[in-house]
Amino acid sequence: MCGIAGVMFSNENYAPVGQYLYDMLKSLQHRGMDSAGVITYNYKDINYWKVRVVCPSDPEVALNKIKYRLNIKDSKVVKLNDGNFMLDLKISKEHDVSEVRNTIKKLGLYLLSLGLQSLISKDVGLVDDVNRIFGFSKEVGTHGIGHVRFSTESAVDALHAHPFQNPEFPDIAIVHNGQITNYWKMRELLELEGHEFQTDNDSELIIHYIVNKLRKGNGLEEALKMAVRDLDGPFAFLISMPEGIGMARDRLGLRPLVISETPSVKVAASEEVAIRKVIPEGKIYYMRPGEVRVWKRQ
């Protein structure tokens, strides 16, 4: 059992997306206490790649190796709750995404976040523990999604926390509640098409699956319908991208997903309590088994 939450503001003005996600995830904390994380979207500062890298040891050595290969505009070393270090970097856009990704990979490091318009904050611990490290509740922007994890498989560390990203396609991420029971079969098919996985967490499969469909020319809604058809097991998930937020629920409706929409903000969560935390009044809608929905930014 995990908890997922998403928020999207209807106007172009930046809003307290981080605070909304913080409040919603706090109200879902009972659904998972192993780790927590969010991705938020901000369009004002897109002049560099925002990159967060997990480094098990010797962070200054790793940082110097990256600086030797890439034009770093700003950097910071952070100690994570899981005992690893994180390199928080701003990298010049003169480097394309493949150059950034391949440099990190060749150094034996792992990407926690990579984007121009988005930033992922995630680690082990409670929502407050993760917020103390990243201060994500202060993030302003247009939309975002978040997660609290109760691990049923795979490791418990920052890398295995949600949201999950496909480093080949920055600024797209998912949060997931449930299990993908045909994980290994689907992973093998995606790896044959060139997808590279950073973890053995079944949730990571979903982002690779959706991205695979998107790069073949399918729209997000169509890709979500394909996911409901092809992925087995109980699940509900949210996927975020610069254009908005998509969501899906498994065919049998074994994992809940609740939404509410007002003229100024749309929210989605695993439980009504999270909706009411940020929208005290308003119509509540429980998504049907197998239903998908896409919220597009205006």
74 and 157 belong to one structural domain: no
pLDDT tens readout for residues 227-276? 999 999 999 999 999 999 999 999 999 999 999 999 999 999 999 999 99
38 and 11 in a single domain? The answer is yes
Percent of the chain surpassing pLDDT 70: 99
pTM for the model stands at: 0.96
175 and 241 fall within a common domain: yes
Sequence-separated (6 or more) residues with CB below 8 Å from residue 25: 3, 5, 36, 38, 127, 146, 147, 148, 274
- Cis, peptide link before residue 163, omega less than 30° from 0: yes
The dihedral sign for the CA sequence 54, 55, 56, 59: negative
CATH number of residue 31's parent domain: 3.60.20.10
Same-domain check for residues 142 and 106: no
Q: Which structural domain, as residue segments, surrounds residue 55?
A: 47-116
Indicate the average pLDDT of the chain. 95
Q: What is the DSSP letter of 141?
A: B
pLDDT, one tens digit per residue, over 147-185 is 999 987 778 999 999 999 998 888 999 999 999 999 999
- pLDDT for 169 equals 86
pLDDT of residue 11: 73
CATH code of the domain containing 56: 3.30.70.260
Distance in angstroms (rounded) separating the CA atoms of residues 266 and 159: 28
Residue 2 falls in the annotated catalytic set: yes
Closest CA to 231 of 291, 180, 195: 180
Q: What is the DSSP string of 211-226?
A: HHHHHTT--HHHHHHH
Measured distance CA(260)–CA(148) in Å, rounded: 20
**Catalytic: which of 1, 2, 72, 77?**
2
Q: In the chain, which ranges are continuous DSSP H helix?
A: 17-27, 59-69, 97-106, 127-134, 183-192, 202-215, 220-230, 272-278
Same domain, 140 and 75: no
97 lies in the same domain as 198: no
Q: Domain tally for the chain? A: 2
Residue ending a domain, choose from 116, 148, 166: 116
